[in-house]
Amino acid sequence: MNINVTKAFLPPIEEYQKYIETIFKRVWLTNNGPLLNELELKLKEYLQVPHMLFLSNGTVAIQIAIKALQLKGEIITTPFSYVATTSSIVWEQCKPVFVDIDSDTFNIDPAKIEAAITPNTSAILATHVFGNPCEIEIIQAIADKHGLKVIYDAAHCFGTTYKGKSVFQYGDISTTSFHATKLFHTVEGGAVFTNQPDLLKKMALLRNFGHTSPSTFDGIGINAKNSELHAAMGLNVLKYADEIKAKRKEQWNYYREKLISLDVKFISITEGTDYYNASYFPILFKTEEKLMRSVEALNLQGVYPRRYFYPSLNLLNYVNPTSCPISEQTSKIVLCLPLYHDLSLEEQDMICRILLRIQNN
């Protein structure tokens, strides 16, 4: 049996079946149904956030955030993230301007942001990489100084808290993903968060074609809604959220302890983080050649880690070439090890043994 980099958590099928039966009785499959509303309420309570909207996925969440803030021109962003962070900017006809990352946290380096600001800059879109919070206060101070909006791609951040609050509460808008591979999931799904009621109302219109009634509209919108079937999965998985987070933290700490003698670099968690959700376990090798040797050895034993994130986004063929040497180097030597709810200690031990053996050969 293969060990992949991630594997979706699934609740007991009979529990999910009960939700499905209620959907079949109501024949209300989508369009802001009762389970979707229940999920939004329970997520707000669980995450301790004032406002959120459940969406079809995390990519459209970024697109709606850009649209709601009416961004134009240039958006400063990170080259070290999943491709959706950059592609959403381009999709919304804005220009991504890449700022290199911090070599320890893997997040955008705030010390380099101001040099990238021009009269055409409208916002900063930063990713909390692997669920590790950015230097939020510094980024906000820069944005306030220059009159810029702030969006956080918080796709990996379910449960992470920073200085006493959910990391989703920071920025003008935060977005997240509830994809099947995430710590909390709805199979496919995502969300937007804001502390500003006017922005929430605007994004609610954008989510549903701009409908203000069955026959009236207020501006342009798209179909970013999610279904009752996805909401049912979310409600079911949410029951196990504390258990999932606790297990993930144990697994993350176990890797850290077992691989302490491995000649690699570990992520540095940002100061001020109250709770890091341990959503991924990245390691940085000294060279790409050492990474590839380790990947080959793991693959031979049916273990499939992932070079996440690779390549550096400033090298995509639809953006202006920009030099980001730290991101480019990091993307060549970073590897995320398997991490998911039913990964056993025995499997983790095997992975660690292979990595340590390759190092010593």
Best CA proximity match to 161, nearest among 274, 241, 45:
274
Q: Residue 104, class by beta-carbon neighbours within 10 Å (0-12 exposed, 13-18 middle, 19+ buried)?
A: middle
Per residue in 158-175, pLDDT tens?
999 999 999 999 999 999
Per residue in 326-351, pLDDT tens?
999 999 999 999 999 999 999 999 99
* pLDDT score, position 359: 86
Measured in degrees and rounded to the nearest 5, phi and psi for residue 211 equal -60, 130
Cα-Cα-Cα-Cα dihedral sign, residues 242, 248, 254, 257? negative
* pLDDT score, position 229: 98
Say if CB 68 and CB 173 are below 8 A apart: yes
* pLDDT score, position 40: 98
Q: Quick check: 12 pLDDT over 90? A: yes
The CATH number of 13-99+108-238 is 3.40.640.10
* pLDDT score, position 253: 98
Domain boundaries, the chain: 13-99+108-238, 241-360
Percentage of residues in the chain with pLDDT exceeding 90?
Answer: 97
Average pLDDT over every residue of 49-78? 98
Q: Quick check: 261 pLDDT over 80? A: yes
Yes or no: domain 241-360 corresponds to CATH 3.40.50.720: no
The Cα–Cα gap between 274 and 310 comes to 29
Q: Quick check: 361 pLDDT over 80? A: no
The Cα–Cα gap between 126 and 217 comes to 32
Q: Quick check: 91 pLDDT over 90? A: yes
Q: Quick check: 214 pLDDT over 80? A: yes
Best CA proximity match to 7, nearest among 309, 258, 248:
248
* pLDDT score, position 117: 98
The Cα–Cα gap between 58 and 64 comes to 10
Say if CB 224 and CB 192 are below 8 A apart: no
Q: Which residue type is seen at 359?
A: Q
Which H or E element spans position 347? Answer: helix 345-360
Angle of the 228-238 helix axis to the 241-258 helix axis, nearest 10? 60
DSSP bridge partners of 192: 53, 175
* pLDDT score, position 360: 79
Average pLDDT over every residue of 89-111? 98
Average pLDDT over every residue of 74-85? 98
Read off the pLDDT band of 65 (50, 70, 90): very high
Per residue in 278-313, pLDDT tens?
999 999 999 999 999 999 999 999 999 999 999 999
* pLDDT score, position 331: 98
Mean pLDDT of the chain: 97
Q: Quick check: 106 pLDDT over 90? A: yes
Rounded alpha-carbon distances, angstroms, from residue 67 to 85, 193, 210, 326, 355: 14, 14, 12, 30, 45
DSSP conformation class of 107: S
Average pLDDT over every residue of 240-263? 98
Pairing of strands 190-193, 282-284: unpaired
* pLDDT score, position 347: 98
Q: Quick check: 182 pLDDT over 90? A: yes
Average pLDDT over every residue of 35-59? 98
13-99+108-238 and 241-360, same CATH topology = no
Pairing of strands 173-177, 149-153: parallel
DSSP conformation class of 267: P
Average pLDDT over every residue of 17-40? 97
Percentage of residues in the chain with pLDDT exceeding 70?
Answer: 100
Retrieve residue 226's tokens.
Answer: 């999610």
The Cα–Cα gap between 246 and 23 comes to 31
Q: Quick check: 1 pLDDT over 90? A: no
